[in-house]
Structure 1
Amino acid sequence: METQLLIKIIHMCGVALGCFAILIRAFTLFKGTQGNLPNPAGRKLFVALQHGSMTLIALTGLVLLYMKNFDVQPWFYAKVVLFLVLLSSLSKAYKKDDNAMLVQRRAGLFIAAVALISIITLVIIKPVFG
């Protein structure tokens, strides 16, 4: 099997795992919350799953970028920005600090979901600009 195809498959498995982790972890903001904090049940597993998948996505993405000699389409830059928005909003949603209200955490989760859907849409459509 070609190396680039194998890394692309691993990358997409990481994306699927990331989507699953975000979906499963989202339930902690709606059930069993403790004050302004998410439900602590299974926290370590969910955090490990989410961090592992995001790390896998970033590393395989960088390897794929290197293998393509950094030759990218214009929509790729939007994908990178949306990935940073995804990471930032997830960190806001699940911050250990009790100062963030539950509604702010849910808004961070909503922004992360919109960013994730936008990334997947960009990859599927692959728009041509100009």
Structure 2
Amino acid sequence: MDTHLLIKIVHMSGAALACLAVLVRAFTLFQGVQGNQPNPVARKLFVALQHGAMTLIALTGIVLLWMKNFDVQPWFYAKVVLFLVLLSSLGKAYRKGDEILLVQRRAGLFLAVLSLVSIIGLVILKPNFG
């Protein structure tokens, strides 16, 4: 099997794992909430799953970029910006501390899901900005 294809499959598997992690972890903001904090049940497992998936996506993405000699399409830059929005929104949604209200956490989750759906849409459509 071609190395590029293998890394691409791992990258897409990481994306699927990230989608699953975001959706599963989202339930902690709606069920068993304690004050302004998400449900602490299985918190370490969900955090590890989400961090592992995002790290896998970033590392395999960098390897794929290197393999393509950093020759990318214009929509790729939008994908990178949306990935940074995804990470920032998830950070806001699940940050420790009671200073962040539950409604703000849910808004962060909404932005994260919106950016995740937008990334998937960009990858499927591969629009031509120009």
TM over 0.5: yes
Task: Name the count of aligned residue pairs.
Answer: 130
SS of equivalent to 2:122:
helix
Question: Which string of whole-angstrom CA distances, capped at 9 and with x for unpartnered residues, describes residues 60-117 of structure 1?
Answer: 0000000000000000000000000000000000001110000000000000000000
Structure 1 segments (4+ residues) deviating >3 Å: none
Question: Which string of whole-angstrom CA distances, capped at 9 and with x for unpartnered residues, describes residues 34-53 of structure 1?
Answer: 00000000000000000000
Q: Quote the Cα distance in structure 1 between the aligned partners of 2:72 and 2:98.
A: 41
Matches within 5 A, 1:56-75: 56-75=56-75
Q: Quote the Cα distance in structure 1 between the aligned partners of 2:85 and 2:26.
A: 17
Match for 1:106: what amino acid?
Answer: R
Q: Percent identity?
A: 76
Q: Quote the Cα distance in structure 1 between the aligned partners of 2:127 and 2:18.
A: 24
Uncovered stretches (5+) of structure 2, i.e. residues with no partner: none
1:46 alignment partner in structure 2: 46
Query: Is 1:106–2:106 an aligned residue pair?
Result: yes
Q: Quote the Cα distance in structure 2 between the aligned partners of 1:103 and 1:120.
A: 26
Root-mean-square deviation (CA, aligned residues, Å) is 0.3
TM-score, length-scaled by structure 1: 0.99
1:19 alignment partner in structure 2: 19
Uncovered stretches (5+) of structure 1, i.e. residues with no partner: none
TM-score, length-scaled by structure 2: 0.99
Q: Quote the Cα distance in structure 1 between the aligned partners of 2:13 and 2:123.
A: 15
